[in-house]
Amino acid sequence: MITWGMVGNSHDASLAVFETKVRGLSSNSRTKLLWASLAKDFSDAPTAPMHSQMQINLALHNFGYPDEIVWYELPYLKTLRQWRAGQGKLGALLLENNITNYLKKLHINCVELNIPIRYAKHHTSHAAYGYYTQPNPEATIMCLDSIGEYETFTIWQGDKNRKLKKVFSQGYPHSIGLFYSAMTQRMGLVANKDEYQVAQAGKGISTSENLALVNDICETFIDGTLNGTKPGVKFKHNLHKGCDWYKPDLTTEGDMKRLANATQFVFELIIKSNSAWCRNNLASQDLILTGGCALNRDAVNSIQKDWRSIYVPPNPGDPGSCIGAVLALKKEVIDFDANMWYNSSV
């Protein structure tokens, strides 16, 4: 059986192809990842939100039509959250998030071809991607991103039986990812695209001399303390629409570098606080990080000493969930090689 895992219709579209075979005469089966690809490798768009027809055609040519498709999130929950957040009218959002119609535009008519579409929750896809692509059964998993349906930050445990258990969930609008993206936009950069520039922009600034701005950011945005006694983080403002109102007196290039430095420092404080909570309350000494925030290498490095090992899979943000969505339903460890990701430059 061929299964496609898909991420798309938002940003960073991706596609994974799996094959499941029955082993011998038993009822046991084995799932194998055959191929995974990012839409941006078939497009000029750096964060390609939609699948490329060339990408789809290549998968069809090499593997044929899928017997099933697994989508990486629950569209109806996403629609409800978007409507409640004032991101559009309910009817338009329902139409926009209709995955059957989306696939039909890519010439995958699931109704005519009798291809069932199954769905996994956004953060479950993140957690499964990290957990089932590495060999350690007992691990702690932190999933941090901007938003998935309603969840923005989840913590999971893996056990010796290869089961994932969610131990903490934080909901919209309290979002570490939205905080970082809002501050990225405040610096004149593009949210959901230029976040990688923030950590670099703040280097060379002395944090000790920038503590006043760090403290002001904490006072303005953070509700509570960041001392590892509680998981998650609460924000005083909904940052989904940015924070251009913050510190309008900061206008120069030097100001933006100071703002970048302080933003990264606070972001690392949040990561360190949650890392400490996990180490103090969960059994495993091995950490897995997924979600877009796991791309922040400086933040990952800041907690390296707290853990025996830290695993960040390739493409840990939404793109990796084309693999994670399938594994969330299969609940099966796979032999994973990062080279399975298609690279257009090779």
Q: What percent of the chain has pLDDT over 70?
A: 98
| Averaged pLDDT of the chain | 94
CATH 1.10.287 fits 2-123+318-340, yes or no: no
In terms of residues, how long is the chain?
Answer: 346
**pTM for this prediction:** 0.95
Q: What percent of the chain has pLDDT over 90?
A: 87
pLDDT digits (tens, 9 = 90+) for 200-239: 999 988 888 899 999 999 999 999 999 999 999 999 999 9
Instruction: Give the residue among 94, 148, 83 at the shortest CA–CA distance from 325.
Output: 148
DSSP secondary structure string for all residues of 235-300: ESS--TT--TTS-TT--SHHHHHHHHHHHHHHHHHHHHHHHHHHHHHSS-SEEEEESGGGG-HHHH
Q: Which residues face 70 on adjacent strands?
A: 5, 118
Domain ranges of the chain: 2-123+318-340, 135-311
2-123+318-340 against 135-311: fold identical: yes
For residue 173, say if its preceding peptide bond is cis, omega within 30 degrees of 0.
Answer: yes
pLDDT digits (tens, 9 = 90+) for 110-131: 999 999 999 999 999 999 999 9
Joined together, the tokens standing for residue 184 give 């990225």
Class of domain 135-311: alpha beta
Burial class (CB in 10 A: 0-12, 13-18, 19+), 237: middle
Q: Name the maximum alpha-carbon separation found in the chain.
A: 72
pLDDT digits (tens, 9 = 90+) for 9-30: 988 899 999 999 876 655 577 8
Say how far apart CA 309 and CA 307 lie, in whole Å: 5
